[in-house]
Structure 1
Amino acid sequence: MSPSSAPRLFSEKEVTRHCTKDSCWVLLGTRVYDVTGFLRMHPGGEALILRRSGKDVSGEMEGPPHRHSENARRWMEQYYIGELDRDEAQTLRERRKSPEKTEGKTEEKKTEEKKKEVEVEEEESSPYSRCSSVDLDKDLVDWRKPLAWQVGYLGEKYDTWVHQPVDRPIRLFGNPFLEASTKTSWYWVPVVWLPIVIYLSWHCYTTLAQETTRVVFNSDHSVLVHKYSFPLLFVMGWFLWSFIEYCIHRFVFHMKPPAHNYYLITIHFLLHGQHHKSPFDGSRLVFPPGLASIVVGVFYLFLHHTLPEVLGMSVFVGGLCGYVVYDMIHYYLHYGSPKRGSYLYSLKAYHVKHHFEHQRAGFGITSTFWDYPFNTVIPDEKF
């Protein structure tokens, strides 16, 4: 639906009929939205929307318990399909109250109403073109072309633009091979890394079981490292990864590139900006194994030169497992439907707030632990 075209009109009866997972509509005042495609993404779970399908959700948007941000409202406009026909709805209610008034209709009136019914049926059987908040002619970038080489020219407008999310795919590069290399299905993360985690865990445990690994303090003092210390070293690695996860997300992914630096803006967009612009692009929610291997390699080299070989490897494998869990949880926070009241439910709500309202806070993904000592906890809402 183009912004200049007249909006479609729907009766209240039409809106209330769309109350299933396959077709879910809601009202915001007199505006009608088809939110079927948003059900899986909703941080509160699809059940919350389904219970309000066909109804006005203005009160829920204002809160409590949650006042939706301007970005959330802007996001909702992508699902706008038309307006509620108040006159038609009022006429329908009057006819229900006074059915005898319809008996004296002229044949011409009946024919006209029959035609309207046919038009409504045709509209309901055809897919609607959802209105997008991206105006292809007026947006700051040309969405018809690859974005990677355009965003650097946005300058001081980049930070605001990139933190106004949209529900549409992003094409970064024109070259098909280069573009494909930036996309990864979620299952490749466990397929590539879990066999390595399992093998290295077995290797470290069996090596420690030989009871030949000792931590040497000086020529006179050394301590034998028992095989039962492996779980502790593994957990230490996982904990260390959680800190690295926080630091990368906060200081690298959320660096604010200088407005005059084309290259840093471009790098930021490629690393993380594109994810904030299109947060539900399922092909870019996990790290491509090639890119991840660079971070994994640096992590391994650091531990290899810091700790004795088997100890360093034991900590490393714990960190690697933590990374796999991080990527899987991140994907689930965007597309999963955790049970209300569960830990993952609270994490999902926390992460969605990070995307839509508090981009300079809430950097923890698998846990909010590190947000507390670094004072980046997303504040509770006040009404």
Structure 2
Amino acid sequence: MSPSTSPRFFTEREVARHCTPGSCWVLLGTRVYDVTAFLRMHPGGEALIRSRAGKDLSGAMEGPPHRHSENARRWMEQYYIGELDRGTGTEEVQTLRERKNASERTNGNTTEKQPEDEDDDMSPYSRCSPVDLDKDLVDWRKPLAWQVGHLGEKYDAWVHQPVDRPIRLFGNPFLEASTKTSWYWVPVVWFPIVFYFSWYCYTTLAQGSTRVAVTSDFSVPVHKSVFPVLFLLGWFLWSFLEYCIHRFVFHMKPPAHNYYLITLHFLLHGQHHKSPFDGSRLVFPPGLASIVVVLFYLVLHSVLPDIVGLSVFVGGLCGYVVYDMIHYYLHYGSPKRGTYLYGLKAYHVKHHFEHQKSGFGITTTFWDHPFNTVIPDEKF
């Protein structure tokens, strides 16, 4: 809702009626929010919001168990739809209502009120977007890729204030389409390769002819039973690579004067932090991922014997696929409270909304500990 638009007013009974997955409203004081589009995104799961449908969330926002960040509060404003009219009315609500009625009399507005259950023609993005198209630092009506580099020192603060609206990076339709990937393409493209090379490595080792030279005169045989160990070693190495890429590449702070590095950062990861629930950009396009995959293979091939290096590589490749799938699930899934994935989801959402300089682990928080980037526990 635009700041210049007069708010709509709802009774407590009207708000309470919206308590289903298809229409869920909540309150913050006298402010009414339609959080239907946010249900599946909520890190605590849908049930926590639905159990509070039609109620005031002010206490829950303050915690415990979780005190919501300023970014989370800004995010909430995307779903603002109007004000609560309790009948007796607070001074603020009464004043707003008088202004609205006066405005309608001035403009000769005689349009009948829409039935409350009638579907809004506007999309959730246009209805809930907090972006002021006339005052934002970039022009959202145009592709953003070539604009963000001009933000300079304002870029870092701007990109870490997330919004729930789609981002268009490029004007060219083909180039724009190449930056979007549906989640299922990751297993479709990479799992057949994982399965093939896993079988190839295992059957090759099963022949019993593979040996690793320790010295020029001494070598040790590599049995097929070692394959699972090599596979898991590759997975473990990927988890370290995942951490390093996320921390040192995706979260580099580009110099404020360097247009090209700012643009590169936005294309690689900044756009994900600006619009963290854009489902078409939550996994790597296979073409871009193949660059990292090939480099990973070449490094292993250069330091390890052929079949041993390939066994480690295929484990790392499987780790990458699982990483991309988990990352997508952390944004759109609703894991059961108390499970490992529930903890990861809460951890990752904190990284997006409050602790952008820590919490770089995605599939595991293991590497955050030795590198001292663990998101601190909340204290009340």
* TM-score (structure 2 length as normaliser): 0.92
Identity %: 82
Q: Does 1:229 align with 2:222?
A: no
Superposed CA RMSD in Å reads: 1.3
Which residue, out of 309, 312, 316, partners 1:312? 309
Conserved? CA contact 1:2–1:131, under 8 Å: no
Counterpart Cα distance in 2 of 1:203 and 1:256: 42
Conserved? CA contact 1:11–1:89, under 8 Å: no
The residue identity in structure 1 corresponding to 2:23 is: S
User: Who is 2:119 aligned against?
Assistant: 126
Q: Does 1:40 align with 2:33?
A: no
Q: CA shift at 1:220, angstroms?
A: 2.0
Conserved? CA contact 1:11–1:88, under 8 Å: no
User: Who is 1:86 aligned against?
Assistant: 86
Q: CA shift at 1:221, angstroms?
A: 1.1
Q: Deviations over 1:175-206 (max 9, x none)?
A: 00000000000000000000000000000001
- 5 Å matches for 1:58-69? 58-69=58-69
Q: Deviations over 1:309-330 (max 9, x none)?
A: 0000000000000000000000
Look up the SS of the partner of 1:125 in the other structure.
Answer: coil
The structure whose Rg is larger is 1
The residue identity in structure 2 corresponding to 1:288 is: P
User: Who is 2:245 aligned against?
Assistant: 248
Conserved? CA contact 1:27–1:55, under 8 Å: yes
User: Who is 2:325 aligned against?
Assistant: 328
Counterpart Cα distance in 1 of 2:362 and 2:2: 37
Q: Deviations over 1:207-264 (max 9, x none)?
A: 1111111111223211000011000000000000000000000000000000000000
Counterpart Cα distance in 2 of 1:219 and 1:319: 29
Counterpart Cα distance in 1 of 2:341 and 2:112: 45
Q: Deviations over 1:122-167 (max 9, x none)?
A: 2431316624221000000000000000000000000000000000
The residue identity in structure 1 corresponding to 2:117 is: E
Q: CA shift at 1:87, angstroms?
A: 2.5
- 5 Å matches for 1:360-379? 360-379=357-376
Counterpart Cα distance in 2 of 1:126 and 1:238: 48
Which residue, out of 175, 189, 192, partners 2:189? 192
Counterpart Cα distance in 2 of 1:83 and 1:131: 15
Counterpart Cα distance in 2 of 1:55 and 1:119: 28
Look up the SS of the partner of 1:122 in the other structure.
Answer: coil
Look up the SS of the partner of 1:83 in the other structure.
Answer: strand
Counterpart Cα distance in 2 of 1:144 and 1:206: 56
Conserved? CA contact 1:185–1:286, under 8 Å: yes
Q: CA shift at 1:89, angstroms?
A: 7.3
Counterpart Cα distance in 2 of 1:225 and 1:234: 13
Conserved? CA contact 1:12–1:89, under 8 Å: no
The residue identity in structure 1 corresponding to 2:32 is: V
User: Who is 1:302 aligned against?
Assistant: 299
User: Who is 1:210 aligned against?
Assistant: 207
The residue identity in structure 2 corresponding to 1:316 is: F
User: Who is 2:102 aligned against?
Assistant: none
Structure 1 residue runs without a partner (length 5+):
91-117
User: Who is 2:235 aligned against?
Assistant: 238
Counterpart Cα distance in 1 of 2:112 and 2:22: 21
Structure 2 residue runs without a partner (length 5+):
91-110
Change beyond 3 A, Cα 1:126–1:217: closer
Q: Does 1:13 align with 2:13?
A: yes
The residue identity in structure 1 corresponding to 2:75 is: W
